[in-house]
Structure formats: C-alpha cells, structure tokens
Amino acid sequence: MQGDGKFDSLTANSFSDGARFSVEDLSRNLIRYGAPFLPCLIERVAGSYVYDERGRAMLDFTSGQMSAILGHNHPEIVATMKAAASEPVHLFSGLLTRSVVQLAEVLADLLGPKLSKAILLSTGAESNEAAIRLAKLYTGGYEILAFDLAWHGMTGAAFPTTFSAKRRGYGPPIPGVMALPTPYVYRRPDWAGDTFELDMLDYAFALIDRQSVGALAAVIVEPILSSGGMIEPPPGYLIRLHEKCRERGMLLIADEAQTGLGRTGRMFACEHHGITPDIMTLSKTLGAGLPLAATITSPEIEQFCHDRNFLFYTTHVSDPFPARIGLKAIEIILRDQMTSRAAEKGAHLNRGLLELQERHECIGDVRGRGLFAGIEFVKDRVTKAPAVRFGAAVSRRCFELGLNINIVQLPGMGGVMRMAPPLTISHAELDKGVAIIDEAITDCLAAGLLAN
C-alpha cells in the first residue's frame, strides 16, 4: 500500500484529454459488476444527452440508469443541489429537517390516505428491503412471492426476489421466496385463450398453497417489469392478484422504481390497473438521478409495525439533502404537467416504433406505456424464436451511431430493447432516436447478424 507522496503522483497515469483507450484500460482498477463498460469516458451531460471525452454527443434513451426523469443536470435540480449543499446535508437519523417532513407530506398527498406513511431511504433495493421487512412483521409470515422475470435489487432480501438476474454461485437465498409465472402476453402459447394469464395465476396460487408452510407474507411486483423485458400484466391481472393476497392475509408490494412519477402517463403505473397496493416503493425517478428512495404504506400497517418495534435504522435514512431534490423533482413534474406530456410524447414514440415494426420483420413486438417502451427482436414472427445476439448487436450499433440504449438479454426470450427517455425529451429527439434504431437494425441485417 502507498500512503505517502502527493496526490498528483497517484494520478500520474490518469487518462489525458482526448486519449484513446480500451475497456481494459478503463476497468484496470475497477471491480466489474455486471453491466459491460463502454469504451468512453463521460465528461459532461445536458438534458437528453451525454458527451464523452472527445465531445461526441450521445442521445440517452435510458435517462442514465432509468433515473434522470427530468433529463441530465436539469437547471432547477442543479440550483436546488447548490442551495441544499449550504444547508444540512446529513444528520443523525433521529433528527428531522423541514425537507424530509415536507417530502413525506407531498407523497401522502399524491397517494391518498391508504398510502400516507413514508420512510425515506437511498436506493430501490433498500426500499424493497424495508417493504419486505414491514410485510413480514405485519403478517407474521416470511414467505414472499415475485414474478420469475422480476428485478427488485441486489441486497439480502431483495436479491432472492430478483429472478431475472444470475443467481448461481452466491449460496442459499433467504428461505420462503417463491416464483410466480410472469404474465407475458406476447409469448402466450398459440393454443391459449384471452384468459390464459388469469388462469395461470389461479394455477400458480394452487401450487403456492401446496408449497406454503402457512407463512405467506407478501407478493412484490413491478407494474411493468423492466429488466424482465418491459412486460405489463394484462387488464384485470393485478386486481385478481391483490384479491388473492387478501384471501391469504398477504400484502401486495408495488415496486414503482422506474414507473413512478409520471413516466407511464399516470403519476403511478398502478393507476393504469386500478389498484392501490398495501406498500409502494419509489426510487430512481424520485431523486431525478440522485440516490433517493421511499417505502410508503398505510397508517394501520405503520402503527402495527411500530407497536412491534419495527427496525430499519440505516446511516442515510431521512437525509435532508436528497429530500430537497425529491421535493423539487415532484414540483417540476406537477407544475409542468409532465405526466400528460409523457402520455403524449409516449404516443409519438409508439407511432415511430410501430413504423419500424412495419419495415423490419425482426421486430416481433412493440409495447409499453408513455415514455417507458420496449421492442422485442425475434428471428421470425411465426415461431417468435429469440434473437438475443441480434438485439445485442443492434444495441452496440446504436451506441456507435450516437444513441445510448439498453438491451435485455435473458435466456429463453428475445433481446428486448428498453427505452425510458427523460420526460423533458423533445419530439425531434425522439424522432432522432427512432431513426438511429432504424439505421442500426438496417446495418445489422445487412451484415447477416440475424442468422447468428
């Protein structure tokens, strides 16, 4: 270990301006954590764009990690950060500031009396940990159900409910977690009818009831599964699921990490399905790119758990700095009518994607709500054979052409291109993104990559 010398000597080998380098250069001192590093360094960001060390602009169709819902470095968010930095940034967890209390009040006003008690945390996984912990304490059970293509986080209780990630090699997960089949309408069997997903839900719970040891606590769901492939349950599904929870004394947890705060054309994606969950978790979009999350439940559940000494005492619970950012983000979304704008811009994006589907047989499905969309690549539309490598190639080509976009590559399904651009994106930028996707598909088809 080197403990003496000047800092400049430690950074002598840093990359110089305009240098060319490889991914190996970039990652030589980093633990690689799943997502492949791209061969560039980001120097600045603005709105819908990120700019690398050479000044090359890349249109960002993923809002960072699906989080920068108001675009990168929104002027009012930046101004709020600067002002908040001169006030309390971090405090002892038993001390509260006005911003923390106000953010909890605003969330309660948005969600109504059935969801009016919040705890403010840092990440989506952390908020799901708190939700699962509340559900276990409230019900007295420990068995948790999640969709088999779900992603709810990487931490202790959240990771076992994350079935879309690689699970092998980490030892046994916490006991009691069971999978429900994802209601994946596009891949419904040819022989199945319109009620197939609801029938499968009935069958799944019959199996769950046989496996359960009588300790069912909760189901945790994304109203639209993102990492699982931008999959939305069909109409009536989540209502039926909530009914099955109530029949068994379970709670329904809605993970709105990516769908919350207007992205789908409603303030919360649960509104599309006519349900109010027992617990809702928010993250990503709540901080507009900064680490901020919330777990929100009813006064009844909160009181019951408080009486039984609910414990979720973390270093950054109720931190004032991110709370200020969350307040400003919600203020902008409401003031500028971002929810209705997301619905209108989403319709514009959807029209562009459907036009791509008409021209390219490799696009099997176009789906999503608002500015939360996906296209699924297949080798042909009859068999719906997955085109995972082709989808990855299209994503790489998009990057080369100046579009940052995410591809889902899960076993047994096609490559699904995920889109979650910021709500501040313009129609012209949406059109540009669709045009780049079109060019990337055309290039990859010309190279014969669909046959691989």
Contact in structure between 277 and 242 (CB atoms under 8 Å): yes
User: Cα(180)–Cα(334) distance, rounded to whole angstroms?
Assistant: 35
Cα–Cα distances (Å) from 243 to 19, 140, 236, in that order, read 59, 19, 11
User: Cα(52)–Cα(225) distance, rounded to whole angstroms?
Assistant: 30
CB atoms within 10 A of CB 443: 16
- Report, in angstroms and rounded to the nearest whole number, the Rg of the chain calculated over CA atoms: 22
Contact in structure between 313 and 93 (CB atoms under 8 Å): yes
User: Cα(451)–Cα(393) distance, rounded to whole angstroms?
Assistant: 12
Q: Which amino acid would we find at residue 255?
A: D
Exposure string (b/e) for 173-208, b if CB count within 10 Å is 16 or more? Answer: eeebbbebebbbbbbeeeeeeeeebbebbeebbeeb
Return the half-sphere exposure (C-beta side, CA atoms, 13 A cut-off) of residue 174: 18
Catalytic residues: 151, 222, 255, 258, 284, 418
Contact in structure between 120 and 208 (CB atoms under 8 Å): no
* CA-angle at 286, arms to 155 and 137, nearest 5°: 45
User: Cα(113)–Cα(299) distance, rounded to whole angstroms?
Assistant: 8
